Amino acid sequence: MNLGEYLHHFHITQSSFAEIVGASQGMVSHVITGRAKLTGEKILRWCEATGWVVTPHEIDSKTYPNPTDGLPAEFQANTQPSAGGDS
């Protein structure tokens, strides 16, 4: 789920999320639309603010090329594709 979908799904305004992560509403809007990119610790801080529903990979797939990159260990198992076949 990307950040825009997350905010919409959970009925969170850009202004409210901005306050949570210490950014402006405009910055949140720019990240959602792709006009601005987060870097470094900000990516992790914003993902943590979503409870890791939005992953570092979804915010910056170049820095975090694998879906579980940047996630705390306890969240990695929830996002890995299952191995093929039922036993």
Sorted by where each starts, the structural domains of the chain and their CATH numbers stand as: 3-66 (1.10.260)
* Average of per-residue pLDDT across 72-78: 85
Q: Tokens 């975090």, residue?
A: 64
More confident: 61 or 82: 61
Q: Which pLDDT tens digit goes with each residue over 18-46?
A: 999 999 999 999 999 999 999 989 999 99
Residue 21: which of 43, 36, 5 has the closest Cα? Answer: 43
Q: Which pLDDT tens digit goes with each residue over 13-25?
A: 999 999 999 999 9
Cα-based distances in Å from 3 to 45, 46, 84, 86: 13, 9, 29, 33
CA trace torsion 70, 74, 75, 77 (10° rounding): 110
pTM for the full predicted model: 0.84
